[in-house]
Amino acid sequence: MPEQTQPTNRPDRNLAMELVRVTEAAAISAARYMGTGNKDAGDQAAVDAMRSFLRTVDMNGTVVIGEGEKDNAPMLYNGELVGTGEGVEVDVAVDPVEGTTLLAEGRPNAIAVIAVAERGSMWNPGNSFYINKIVVGQEARQAIDITKSPSTNLVNIADALGRNVEDLTVFVLDKPRHASLIEEVRQTGARIMLHSDGDVMGALMAAIPGTGIDVLMGVGGTPEAVIAAAAVKALGGGMQAVRAPQRVEEKRQLRKDKVKINEVLHLDDLIQSDNTFFAATGITESTFLEGVHFDRRGGVTTESIVIRSLTGSIRYIKGIHQLNRKNLVGGNVGTTPAHVAMDIILPD
């Protein structure tokens, strides 16, 4: 008998396209519910599609960032095993619909997201649900210090970029908790782009040159922070975070867990591996990724981004899908994709 080769312990580049297929399936299924006002149905359709396609991916994956502990609903939950069980062992972080309200209301910037890294390398937030963070691109990654004020950070970021503070654009979630942050940023003269949701999208835009966003600031969910960290690390950007509990119960539980609430978490704390994958597919329109388009002939087009940290590869992928009713996913029609890829950086 020929000797069997042992699977590598590191994810290889072939995984990238498999992850794009997963986010495409989730995005197409969710897009059916755009503007319907039913965010739970859209989220559920994306979850079902993502789970279905993950079963076909050759990896031994464990969901580290998902929908929380398993409950009666068929969600992707923390600790769930995904993939075929063959091949590399990896941590998996998912957000089948980042921006469920955006999807339900037909607003821009809803995306389907997945991140993968070597087993044991993703930070587990435990009972920490909210976290304050700052994200920038590669040129300013040494300029940030989350222990300093937003205005000080903006001055330092502007210096690193060789620009004036007034030329910077800051992505901030439009939440009551950010009233003082918004006021301080305005006092510096920097411009603000307010979004009701879309923490991962904001981090992605801050880390990629040419999106019109220079920095993300503010408090968002800790699961989204870990997913964002995978993308930021792959892009060579900078990110720092500090837990920011918003509820009395959360603070009480963190104290019980003896967590250092004021501890600064750097990018290597959030994602320890240097071999991460990040994939996202647009569900609704944005200035960064096109949303899912259904055409008159029954076809579907999608736009995705996939990034790998080991090589720095960034690919924008235009998916042209022919609907096939023999393959139903999440209650919606499945797809047979034909991809047209545009390599922004040389292929790995």
67 is in an annotated binding site: yes
99 is in an annotated binding site: yes
Query: Is 43 annotated as ligand-binding?
Result: yes
Instruction: Measure the CA–CA gap between 112 and 198, rounded to whole angstroms.
Output: 11
Q: How far is CA 275 from CA 119, 162, 209, 218, 305, in A?
A: 11, 31, 21, 27, 17
The runs of H, that is alpha helices, within 236-275 are 248-256, 267-270
Q: Is 177 annotated as a binding residue?
A: yes
**Is 98 one of the annotated binding-site residues?**
yes
Q: What is the DSSP letter of 330?
A: T
199 is in an annotated binding site: yes
Residue 95 annotated as lining a ligand binding site: yes
Gyration radius of the chain over CA positions: 20
Alpha-carbon distance of 331 to 317, in angstroms, equals 25
Q: In sequence order, which residues have a C-beta less than 8 Å from that of residue 268 and are 6 or more positions away?
A: none
85 is in an annotated binding site: no
Q: How far is CA 267 from the centre of its chain?
A: 14
State yes or no: 120 annotated in a binding site. no
Does the annotation flag 163 for ligand binding? no
237 is in an annotated binding site: no
Binding residues for substrate, by number, are 98-100, 130, 175-177, 197-199, 221
Binding residues for Mn(2+), by number, are 43, 67, 95, 98, 224
Binding residues, by number, are 43, 67, 95, 98-100, 130, 175-177, 197-199, 221, 224
